[in-house]
A and B are shown apart, each in its own frame.
Chain A
Amino acid sequence: MNAVLTWLTDGAHWQGYDGILQRTWEHVWYSAIALAIAAALAIPLGLWVGHTGRARFLAVNLTGALRAVPSLGLLFASIMVLGSRLDGELATLVPTELVLVVLAVPPILAGAYAGVEQVDAAARDAARGMGMRGSEVLFKVELPCALPLISSGLRSAALQVVATATLAAAVGLGGLGRFLLDGLAVRDYAQMAGGAILVAALALLIDLVASTLQRVVVSPGLTGKTDRRDNALRRLKTTAAS
């Protein structure tokens, strides 16, 4: 444990092209790209599924099946298939991002469609009664009401992506996973454990930022009334829907 602390607090380990700051930055980048792509795919799809009720069966099973795909196997397979068609760093970066996107889509998709589905039918009817068109109902009523669930889907995706982005190092890229592999290669267990702690700390930090953002973004009309139990129930619906 002391060795780990020593490793983490040594200023020299924080600087340079292979320092902690640089590796953290890379790690954040790998994760951010994957989350952005996954959100761009899964949120519209989830809203559409939730709004129309169409293809729900497909969405539920797609999320289930994607979750079951082991990241390691998918990474190897996509490097073998895609890697030879790409040049330079893209040959490993694209497969890595693909794996992270596959990991991030299910929770985001589930959050989005479950979020829209759980909107009170009365609210929806009221919106229609006020003369809103389908798209208006979606964007003015359902989307704001679904935000808490969408953001909890995003948060859960972010946690998984940050934890799994260590795979980037396993295929020769950077990120915090480098400390795990470089530490292993020279039997420096302090470095390995230090790397693992950094990943967990980064994930926690990102979750804290996200929860703050969530509080800002979500309408107080939704949060103000909710007590502990509603929060719990809402979370359950994401789990259940997935």
Chain B
Amino acid sequence: MDWVLGHLDDIGSYTVQHAWLAGVPLVLGLLIAVPLGWLSRQYNWLYTPLVVGTGLLYTIPSLALFILMPLLLGTTILDPLNVVVAMTIYTLALLVRTVADALRSVPDSVTASATAMGLRPLRRLFTVELPLAVPVISAGMRVAAVSNVSIVSVAALIGVPQLGSLFTDGFQRDFLDPIVSGLVACVVLALLFDLVIVAATRLLTPWLRTGAPTGRAA
């Protein structure tokens, strides 16, 4: 416990870095997953290759991906970009299926009426389909957020500082305090991400709050 109190500033700065490395890819992943999900709705034959293909990305071991990133990207080995890109790949792996399924779950009748009202596909996507898909996408984002917070810690093995650095430091010195602080900070950070996503979802789906309760959509 003394160790924790004496190292609050380290834990704090690791947490901030951890939040960046896990959070930025979450947003990037969503930005890429939406067009891919939309494509898989527009072109039905794309659904399975896209969903299976991106899902497969999740099975690439993180240590391998982190280490091979500089070779693929031409970045320097300590560049946080390596971690950001790798984490974006993992986020995509989780979100493409979610977004695709969320868009597919929008009832045909709704899309048909939107089309009948004269909305073009892109406009229809942003004003009708995506908003309706928000609760489900948000559920996927929550899973991805938690998963990102966990995987980022592996980047400690390639020298990118974040909460995982506390794990390697503690393990090297047979010292539980840093490891336990890192574990607690990770869980707290994941919880914060979760709260932010839930709050954003509420903001984006006002109709779920006003009407009769429609059950747990998300």
Which A positions have Cβ atoms within 8 angstroms of B? 64-65, 67-74, 76-77, 79-81, 159-160, 162-164, 166, 170, 177, 180-181, 184, 189, 192-193, 195-196, 199-200, 203-204, 228-229, 232-233, 235-236, 239-242
Query: With a CB–CB cut-off of 8 A, which chain B residues contact A181?
Result: 63
Query: With a CB–CB cut-off of 8 A, which chain B residues contact A233?
Result: 105
Contact across chains for B186 and A68 when beta carbons are under 8 A apart: yes
Contact across chains for B104 and A228 when beta carbons are under 8 A apart: yes
Contact across chains for B153 and A68 when beta carbons are under 8 A apart: no
Contact across chains for A68 and B190 when beta carbons are under 8 A apart: yes
Contact across chains for B136 and A196 when beta carbons are under 8 A apart: no
Residue ID in chain B nearest A184 by CB atoms:
B67
Contact across chains for B60 and A196 when beta carbons are under 8 A apart: yes
Instruction: Assess whether B58 is interfacial by the CB under 8 Å rule.
Output: yes
Given the known interface contacts A67-B146, A69-B186, the answer about A192 and B68 at a Cβ–Cβ threshold of 8 Å is: yes
Contact across chains for B67 and A192 when beta carbons are under 8 A apart: yes
Given the known interface contacts A180-B64, A193-B64, the answer about A200 and B150 at a Cβ–Cβ threshold of 8 Å is: no
Most A Cβ at <10 Å: residue of B60, B140, B166: B60
Q: How far is the CA of A199 from the CA of B56 in the complex (A)?
A: 10
Q: List 6 A-B contacts (CB under 8 A).
A: A68-B146, A166-B63, A170-B63, A235-B101, A236-B105, A239-B101
Most B Cβ at <10 Å: residue of A81, A232, A240: A240
Contact across chains for B167 and A70 when beta carbons are under 8 A apart: yes
Contact across chains for B136 and A69 when beta carbons are under 8 A apart: no
A187 → chain B, closest Cβ, in Å?
A: 11
Contact across chains for A81 and B153 when beta carbons are under 8 A apart: no
Contact across chains for A73 and B60 when beta carbons are under 8 A apart: no
Q: Mark B35-52, 1 if CB is under 8 A from A, else 0.
A: 000000000000000000
Query: With a CB–CB cut-off of 8 A, which chain A residues contact B111?
Result: none
Q: How far is the CA of A79 from the CA of B218 in the complex (A)?
A: 37
Contact across chains for A67 and B60 when beta carbons are under 8 A apart: no
Residue ID in chain A nearest B166 by CB atoms:
A73
Q: How far is the CA of A229 from the CA of B109 in the complex (A)?
A: 13
Contact across chains for B149 and A240 when beta carbons are under 8 A apart: no
